[in-house]
Amino acid sequence: MKIACSKSNLQKSVNIVMKAVPSKTTMPILECILIDASTNEIKFTSNDMELGIETKVEGEVLEKGIIALDAKIFSEIVRKLPDSTVMIATDDKLQATITCEKAKFSISGKSGEDFSYLPFVEKNDCVALSQFTLKEVIRQTIFSISANDNNKMMTGELFEINENVLRVISLDGHRIAIRKIELKDSYPAKKIVVPGKTLVEISKILSGETEDEVRIFFTDNHIVFEFDDTVVVSRLIEGEYFRIDQMLSSDYLTKVEINKRELLSCIDRATLLVNDNDKKPIIISVGDDSMELKINSQIGSMDEEIDIVKEGKDIMIGFNPRFLIDALRVIDDETIKIYLVNPKAPCFIRDDDQSYIYLILPVNFMA
């Protein structure tokens, strides 16, 4: 095999496929990037058996061939090469020579035939949306997945399609994040649970441009994302997702309209007095035309008022400040609406169209 690519194209492709190289594995071949130049195209592939990525590399195939190279060593070599044309050549003994200007590396490879290729997925059901939309939807929900593997369902996000509406839902037992978007076309009803890890890595690769499209294909076991010159295949989380609609209520006794930036800044200031290990809640008191926020910790205390528009009853309620900050940071609206029932019931932050809903459970506090 012999190929020639610019360092920048090589670096871009390596960065993409590195996201599916496992940090620990009992299968050494999975620690490699597959370089496939067996046709007139150059493709890089990585696969950790849960997530697989294949991307086309812009370059020239001088001699056809295929080889698997240690991902960590190969990526470091590419990163430190001069900004020039890179030649990669292999011999019959699976030795790869990487040349760029006056730099020359020789590293051992493995047979490409031993590599675990991406699973074949029939591309029947396709949902198309802009890369910007998908990237935003992930950003606005991913913070609510659980980092704990004890409940596998909570480590993923529900993608629910109903006609021309896609609803993406995440939860971790303390909060729920929901984003609803309208699609250009109508599709058959579908519910799948996509691993959070897959969505985090996808969002890093997506361009985020409104004119760039991503095509999503579903099967019973896999989801495929196709965009630009890249294909990402991921296993789905099997099982039935939580019945979210039973947890959502339109009932409220208190409705607050408030400037989002002011509220976020206030809570952010309050967290200066809370250590990472400190579970001190922020206590919110809603009055006629103002909201008072208080926090008391071993470091000190803070008390601040914000102007609001209120409907309904006065209420005092406590929250984990981090949960409020996470939700507020991803809302783009200047003014938000918060719905409350009592100090022990969840609060809802949602817009009139319910294109976003953030449910946050309160915490107990001593008034």
248-360: CATH topology = DNA Polymerase III; Chain A, domain 2 (3.10.150)
**pLDDT attached to residue 366:** 67
What are the extents of the domains in the chain?
Answer: 2-114, 125-246, 248-360
Q: Do domains 2-114 and 248-360 have the same CATH topology?
A: yes
pLDDT digits (tens, 9 = 90+) for 324-340: 999 999 999 999 999 99
Q: Where are the alpha helices (DSSP H) in 214-358?
A: 260-270, 321-330
pTM across the whole model? 0.93
Q: What is the arithmetic mean of pLDDT over 27-45?
A: 95
pLDDT digits (tens, 9 = 90+) for 126-157: 899 999 999 999 999 999 999 888 899 999 99
Secondary-structure class of domain 125-246 per CATH: alpha beta
Give the other-Cβ count within 10 Å of 40's Cβ. Answer: 8
Q: What is the arithmetic mean of pLDDT over 288-306?
A: 93
Q: Which CATH superfamily is domain 2-114 in?
A: DNA Polymerase III, subunit A, domain 2 (3.10.150.10)
Give per-residue burial for 304-321: e unless 16+ CB within 10 Å, then b.
Answer: eebebebeeeebebbbbb
C-alpha to C-alpha distance for 291 and 282, rounded to whole angstroms: 12
Task: Name residue, tokens 């035939």.
Answer: 113
